[in-house]
Amino acid sequence: MTGERLDDDPTPAAGRGSAALVQEALCWLIDASVVVHTIGEPAVVPRGPHPDEMWELGKVCADRLGLVVRLNRLARRHGVSVEDRLARPDRHFLCSGLRLASWEEAIVVEALCGAFWRLFFESFMNSAESELDEIVRELWTASQQFIRYGQARLAQLLGGGGSVVEAAVDRWLLVSLAWADEVPPPLDAAWLAAGIRTRSNDEVRGDLREELAMSLQANDLSVPTACAGMLAAPEVRWVDLTERAAPAGGGFRPATFAYSERTTGRVTAAGPNADRSPTVAPPEGR
Amino acid sequence: MGSTIAEEELKIGGRVLDLDDLAHAPAEYRDLLVQLLLVQADGEIGVRDLGYFELIGKFPTAADQWMAARVATEEIGHFRYANAVLNHVGYDASHRVFVDRSERYLGLFRHEMHDWVEFVTFKGVVETMGRLLLEGMFHCNFLPWRATVRRIWQEEKGHIGFGVTRLRRLCATDEGRERAQAALDTWYPRVGAVARPSRFSQACLDWGLRDLSNEELAARFRAETNPWIEELGLQVPGGHPAGGGLDRCGLDR
């Protein structure tokens, strides 16, 4: 096996062998994981506002690169490697050549755009290929931590005024939305048919748009004009906590995060200022 | 303890100080300690400007990239350790974080790297001097710093190991050896700026903050690095040009 891009292969996707499809999946997972290099994240570490923030982002980059090493071990057994992928000018998720310009942008990318990586890795969970399932679980778990790190620092940044954040959102949101359109539909279908991938492009894209819209709203950030058509308002759902009945025996009403409400199907209302709408059905398969 | 600590108690040796004792130490000792910590913190944070982070993606393997990111981040961590001790004694070095490269206290940190080979050469060779400097403070009479020195030293050993193994690998080929020699020719002489005798280092020795003179450090550095540099098929660059040094570092209060 050579690690050639199979989406350029004239063989119909559905006709490819399982081994080739697994190899292709590993190429995509590598390309997703090395975005840390693609966007030049380590280079903005020294631009943090204080050594504490530099150290923290440095740790995030090192942890990301540690995962790349883990992924490389598996990929090599399947005939592909991180080194080969990094050398390819035509690898996936090249972000149109966009690179981080500041520590603040790195925070926005971790906090908001990071959702794509988690959803992308999640789409290979429960893969028929057990090694793939194992590595994406590791990548997914780490992604959660990176997102939490980004969200915590984003909240701090917003506390000091949101203009830097708004500018970073304007610059990066469209790029992350484009990531969700990169996997060619025939390859997506072949992965799904072979059981290598368990969630489709459409599901990943839909969840990403919903999650990004919700994150923007939760942080009082505007939807960039360029993304307005993709992040439509009805996708943003609020849990109106005031509607919660107090427990029969007294005490506090349960407060939960809107995102987990969506995934468990207990969403009760549309936006806070919108007309009340019927209970929204949960997306399937979560 | 409430009584003043006599200069002789510190200079003769045997007396160690904890945080609570510092207020009773001679003013000269306190100033020197702050200066020592400030120089250490400044050197550690100097890595943000050396080009370490920009070079991470240039390393040839995924494993090297990971290690380089860890090493660079740990150096930032060393600033935090040193600054934490400074904070305990009522000072802060945060104002040194964003100073221009040309303003770093140690001449060694007034340069920039352009190649990952320089990174590993710095770690494998130059960092040995950093480790020796730390070893020279193993018996520092200010206990909070002595404990921190051990912690930094432990990580520096790992950094040196990273540099040494990568240099060895690099020198397995003629082309690699040539690149390593170029990096060595650039960085090795710069160590001389750290190892020059200075009034500051003499004062640290006198007051029990250090117990290895700069001359001893230079001798140990040469004894430790030169044989294996030659073993790799590299030539030890001649001379330790003057420059840098610690004398220009002053307290800003």
Residues A64-83 pLDDT 10s: 999 999 999 999 999 999 99
CB contact under 8 A, A83 and B54: no
User: Which residue on chain B is closest to A82 by alpha carbon?
Assistant: B62
Domain ranges of chain B: 28-231
- Angstroms from B199 CA to nearest CA on chain A: 30
Per-residue pLDDT, A247:
66
CB contact under 8 A, A37 and B57: yes
One-letter amino acid at B129 equals M
pLDDT tens string A127-146? 999 999 999 999 999 999 99
CB contact under 8 A, A46 and B80: no
Enter the ipTM.
0.87
CB nearest to A46's CB, from B49, B61, B80: B49
Per-residue pLDDT, A17:
75
Q: Compute φ and ψ for A153, nearest 5 degrees.
A: -75, -30
Q: Looking at the predicted structure, is the pLDDT value of residue A93 above 90?
A: yes
Domain ranges of chain A: 6-225, 237-286
- Angstroms from B13 CA to nearest CA on chain A: 35
Distance CA B174, CA A155 (A): 52
Per-residue pLDDT, A5:
47
With beta carbons less than 8 A apart as the criterion, state whether B141 and B16 touch.
yes
pLDDT tens string B136-161? 999 999 999 999 999 999 999 999 99
Side-chain half-sphere CA neighbours of A157 within 13 A: 28
Per-residue pLDDT, B93:
95
Per-residue pLDDT band for B109 (boundaries 50, 70, 90) equals: very high
Per-residue pLDDT, A4:
46
Q: Compute φ and ψ for A278, nearest 5 degrees.
A: -65, 160
Per-residue pLDDT, A239:
52
Q: Looking at the predicted structure, is the pLDDT value of residue A236 above 50?
A: no
- Angstroms from A101 CA to nearest CA on chain B: 13
User: Which residue on chain A is closest to B42 by alpha carbon?
Assistant: A51
pLDDT tens string B126-135? 999 999 999 9
Q: Which residues of A touch B49 (CB under 8 A)?
A: 46
CB contact under 8 A, A69 and B66: yes
CB contact under 8 A, B80 and A82: no
- Angstroms from B94 CA to nearest CA on chain A: 8
Per-residue pLDDT, A280:
35
**Which is higher by pLDDT, A275 or B232?**
B232
Question: Which residues contact residue B20 at a Cβ distance below 8 angstroms, ignoring those fewer than 6 apart?
Answer: B1
Question: Which residues contact residue B230 at a Cβ distance below 8 angstroms, ignoring those fewer than 6 apart?
Answer: B236
Q: Looking at the predicted structure, is the pLDDT value of residue A168 above 50?
A: yes
- Angstroms from B18 CA to nearest CA on chain A: 26
Per-residue pLDDT, A183:
97
Closest CA to A117 of A56, A68, A157: A68
* % residues pLDDT > 90 (chain A): 65
Per-residue pLDDT, B112:
95
Q: Which residues of A touch B92 (CB under 8 A)?
A: none
Most B-contacting residue of A33, A54, A71, A80 (CB-CB within 10 A), to test interface = A54
Tell me the pTM. Answer: 0.83
Per-residue pLDDT, A275:
39
Per-residue pLDDT, A244:
58
Per-residue pLDDT, B3:
64
Q: Taking residues A84-93, what's their average pLDDT? A: 96
pLDDT tens string A202-223? 999 999 998 998 888 888 888 8
User: Which residue on chain B is closest to A87 by alpha carbon?
Assistant: B60
Distance CA B183, CA B179 (A): 6
Question: Which residues contact residue A20 at a Cβ distance below 8 angstroms, ignoring those fewer than 6 apart?
Answer: A1, A6
The DSSP code sequence of A65-84 is HHHHHHHHHHHHHTT--HHH
Closest CA to A6 of A92, A94, A100: A92
Per-residue pLDDT band for A245 (boundaries 50, 70, 90) equals: low
- Please report the number of interchain residue pairs, chain A to chain B, with beta-carbon separation below 8 angstroms: 72
Find where tokens 């793939």 sit. A132
* % residues pLDDT > 90 (chain B): 81
pLDDT tens string B154-185? 999 999 999 999 999 999 999 999 999 999 99
Q: Which residues of B touch A29 (CB under 8 A)?
A: none
Distance CA B198, CA B36 (A): 13
Closest CA to A258 of A200, A198, A216, A223: A216
With beta carbons less than 8 A apart as the criterion, state whether A172 and A108 touch.
yes
In this structure, chain B runs to a length of: 253
User: Which residue on chain B is closest to A38 by alpha carbon?
Assistant: B57
CB contact under 8 A, B48 and A58: no
Q: Looking at the predicted structure, is the pLDDT value of residue B221 above 90?
A: yes
**Which is higher by pLDDT, A171 or A251?**
A171
CB contact under 8 A, A43 and B53: yes
Assign domain B28-231 to its CATH superfamily.
Ferritin, core subunit, four-helix bundle (1.20.1260.10)
Q: Looking at the predicted structure, is the pLDDT value of residue A268 above 80?
A: no
CB nearest to B48's CB, from A54, A62, A83: A54
CB contact under 8 A, B53 and A46: yes
Q: Looking at the predicted structure, is the pLDDT value of residue B120 above 60?
A: yes
* % residues pLDDT > 70 (chain B): 93
Greatest mean pLDDT range, A159-163, A218-222, A232-236: A218-222
Whether the CB of B102 is below 8 Å from some CB of chain A: the reply is no
What CATH topology corresponds to A6-225? Ferritin (1.20.1260)
